[in-house]
Every structure is written in structure tokens, then in C-alpha cells.
Amino acid sequence: MNILGVSGAVGHDASAALFVDGELVAAVEEERFLRDKHAKGKFPLQSSRYCLEFAGLQPNDIDLVAFPYAPISLSSPARWHYARRYWYAPDRALPAIFNGNRRYRRNERGIMEMLQQLGVKDGRSKFRPVEHHLAHASSAYHLSGFSEKTAILGIDGKGEYATTFFGYGENGRIHKLKEFYDPDSLGGMYGALTEYLGFDMLDGEFKVMGMAPYGDPKKHDLSRLIKYDKQGFSVDTHLINVIGLRRYKEKGQSYYFSPELVDWLGPKRQGDEIDDPYIDYAASIQQLLEDVSLGLIDHYLGDILKETGKLCYAGGVALNVKLNQRIIAMPDVQELFVQPAASDAGTAIGAASYVANESGESLAKMEHAYLGPSYTNEQCIAACEASEHKPVWEVLKDAPLRGAELLAAGNPVAWFQGRMEFGPRALGNRSILGDPATKAIADRINEQIKYRERWRPFCPSILDRVAGEILQTDHPSPYMTFTFDVAESWKSRIPEVVHEDGTARAQIVTSKTNPRYYSLIEELEKRTGNAVVLNTSLNRRGEPMVCSPTDALNMFYGSDLEYLIMEDVLVTK
């Protein structure tokens, strides 16, 4: 059976994913084709075309189209909760009761138009809506490879109404235990403080997380933001997660927090520096998120974790790697699987996997995230020849060897190979690389290439045979979804990938999933003694990760990079 999953339900992160007979064969975000970060307000037309083309399918070969957004019944507590908590905005509260989640009908019309453009006949009969948080849950559980009873966690901003999901999976079926509803959202709370700290929601949460280790979480108590006991929580909608007239406005823009928050904490942060008191606010909101999340996990999932120790996790907050480190440290957690595309882009996978499971398909474990387009040497050369920059290029006999030589000499290298990663993390196929022992290489990449805040951390890609020694654990980490404490003996050897708090957000590389990248790191090890490379995504600030050779060349000539390796083609300035 051919099942196409399409996302974009909540107005951002449109993507498409294709399952063929239970195997995930292709997945890609629309932003990569449109060159528009998060593809806001778009549906995944180009992504769907790619998935079909990769699998050699025609539009009418699609058996089912799964979409991660469903109508919510009036009998559900979700609509009533939303209306009660947003009583001060009757233009939102009353439609929740009398009109339901009206965005569903808008979404359905948009998807039908997209399927028509794609060439799918009778798209409505193939259309299968899936509740947003069930899609998140399925994207983690059904692709984890866990066969025993498994705890399932979902935390994000919101879907239709739900914001937080606790459940479990058993024998392929997902069971709900508890949901929390908008505006009571941990992701929304963190997002509101992200805006207050001067960053954009969807992207800035990573920056707040990176800023937090520089601050003191005890210096400011932010617990006023949320009422919490072990069974539940509610946010203070006089301060955050606000709509309508309660929103703080500045220079014509409305924010997800109120003027009361500004009266309490002071002016909204401006600029790129990690300055007082804002670094302490970042530390405090990170601590608050962790403490509340861990308490809820223990309450709702503790018995299941004691039984099997397995936990699956998705939703935007699942990309908070510091929280994930604390989850792994919980005494009853033996293994945590985080969907690498945990944000709403991953709901394309989840909707399709949920429908596939309901249809009786046997789903294969997700072994890697290399699910996007790839390009040949000939296509890379053609892009060079067509470029207005008239690149100087040559074909290499051994690209990993040459790449390692350049890295060992202290140069950052743009590394473009194989199928593009699905999700927000560069995992060695669309990456900027550096030698983590080269002094100030991280600052150079931040300032001259990525054009981003100087305090942002970089990640290490580590060969599997040394990862245990460096990270002091044997926990799987193929997707950069966790941080780990770096062993003292390694901190001075790879200082450029160790963050302020002594941790690293690591990718463990295996020769099975990425032999060419593995070979590059091995060659670097021969020259430096360290089987580790600094890895960050191949893009500039505010841009999507590059997809094609043309994208890579445009990024290359828009930065101070001097070396770009695309497959076996080396481009130099």
C-alpha cells in the first residue's frame, strides 16, 4: 500500500512523507524547495511531487492520503476547555463551541486543492484525517522499533486543541491516558518567553536553550507563569499564552505575552548579546520546563516506565535536548526514542504511519533520517557551470580524504553528499564541518559563515566506537536529539563542541547508515587523534538548510566559506 502523509495543518512546517508497504521511503520539508523558512501558510506540493518521483509512482498510485489534523467533537472536553479559558476573547471562545475547529475545514479545502494540482483523482475518497497529537505519537512509537509496551509523550505548542499528550503503545495500538488543552501549553509557555527574550517562535526556542547555561536559574523565580501540581498544570493567561487585546504590542507587532509580563520582568530584550537579566530568565524558563515536564512524566507514565523502561517522544518540545537529557536520567527510563523530525514537519510521517497501522501494514523501524533528494556528480558540475559566480572546481578521487585534510588544516568545509536529512538537524549530508580541536573555529563559523549569535553551541558527530568513552553512556543518539555530559578527559581535546555547561548535543555516526561521512571522520582521526568532527547545518541565519547544488553554491558565495565539497566535486575560492 502507498500512503502519502502531508503536513502544514497549523500554518507552518509543511512536509510530505511516503510509506510503501510499511516502509518510510521518502520525506522532505517544503521549505527546502521554496527556500522559505518553515514554509508558513503553504501546503507540501513540491514535497509530495518529490516523494512520488523518488518512489517511481504516479499520483493515482497513492492509496491513501493522511493529514495530521482532524475535526474535534463537541463532546470532547477540548472545545469546552478552550472556550472557558479564553472567555475574554469571545471571537475565539464562541466559535470553539458553535463552529468547532474551523481551521480543519480550511485545511481540508487546501489539501484538496493541492491534491488536484498534484494530479490525484478523487482525492476526497482517499483522504484520512488523524488527530494532531496522535500523529506525533505515531511518528515516535510506530517507528521506534520498540516491541514491548511503550510509554508515549507528546509536548508542543498546540494541535487542534491539545498541547500535551500522555499515553502508551501496545501491540501496535496507541492508547490515550491524558491530554492538556490550549491555552495550557508548556510549548506555548516556552515560546512566549522566547518572544520576550527577543527571538522568533519556531526558531528561537533553540537559542533560549543555548543561552540558558550562561544564566542562574535561581536568580529569578518564574513559577508565576504556571500553576502546577503533580496531576496537572494551567498557565497564567494574564501573563503568557494570550490572544486578542491581552497581547503586548510593539512596533505594530503582537506577541504571545502581555504588557503585565513586561511590567513584571522589564522591557523585552533586544539584540544578540547574552546580557543580564535575560540570561537568567532563559535559565529559569528552561528549569521550569524541565521540572514540570519531569513531574508530569512521572505521574502519568511512571508505572509504564517501571514496567518496560521504554519511552517515545515527539512534538516541538521534544527538540529541547536539555530536557531530553534529564528524561534519560530518570531512574526508570532505559531508552528514549525521539522522532528526529519531532516538530510539526514530522506529523506527515506520523499521520501516514498511523493510517498505515490502522490499515494492517507492518511498519519498519526508522533507521536513519536521510530521506530527501540526492544529486549526482554530473548534476553538481552542471550547477557549477550554470552559476553566475563561475566557480573554480575539480573532481576529487577521494572526497573524504581531501575533506579531512582541509579540516585538519583548520578550515571550515561545506559538506554536501547523499540524500538530504529530514528534520531540523544536519546529520552529515548537508553540513558545515570543522575540526573541534582547532581554536576558535566555532567563533569563525558563527561570525563569518552562519552569521548567528556568537554564543550558539555546535554539535559533535562522533564515531560509534569512541562515543561511549566521550559521552559516558551507551544510549543511542543517531539524530542529535540529546545532550550528554562530556568526559573530563575529552573536554580539552574537542573544546569547540563542548557547551558552557560541559555537555554536547551529539550525533553518533555508524558506517551502516552513513559510510561516506564515517570515512571522513576516520580520516580526520588519523590526522588529529580524535574521531570527532564539529557539525552544523549548511545554511545561513534565517534560511532553510540547503537542498540542491545550486542552493549550496548560493550559500557558499554568500558567506566566507572557502571550501565546498559536493559529492566528489571540490569548489574553492
Q: Which residues are catalytic, by number?
A: 12
Cis peptide before 277 (omega within 30 of 0): yes
Q: Residues 346, 141: contact at Cβ < 8 Å?
A: no
Cβ neighbours of residue 283 closer than 8 Å, sequence gap 6 or more: 211, 212, 213, 214, 215, 216, 217, 219
Backbone angles phi, psi at 373, to 5 degrees: -70, 150
Backbone angles phi, psi at 206, to 5 degrees: -65, -35
The CA-CA-CA angle for residues 541, 542, 544, to 5°, reads: 100
Radius of gyration of the chain (CA): 23
Cβ neighbours of residue 216 closer than 8 Å, sequence gap 6 or more: 280, 283
Bridge-based pairing of strands 335-338 and 162-170 is unpaired
C-alpha cell at 506: 551529539
DSSP code per residue over 503-556 = EEE-EEE-TTT-HHHHHHHHHHHHHHS--EEEEEESS-TTSPPP-SHHHHHHHH
410/423 Cα distance (integer angstroms): 29
Residue with grid cell 490502522, as numbered in its chain: 358
What pairs with residue 459 in β-bridges? 535
Q: Residues 181, 325: contact at Cβ < 8 Å?
A: no
- Alpha-carbon distance values, 278 to 199, 211, 268, 383, 436 (Å): 12, 9, 9, 45, 29
520/533 Cα distance (integer angstroms): 9
Residue 165, H or E segment = strand 162-170
Bridge-based pairing of strands 249-250 and 232-235 is unpaired
DSSP label at residue 363? P
Of 142, 68, 52, nearest to 358 (Cα)? 142
Of 174, 157, 104, nearest to 344 (Cα)? 157
C-alpha cell at 18: 511516503
510/287 Cα distance (integer angstroms): 33
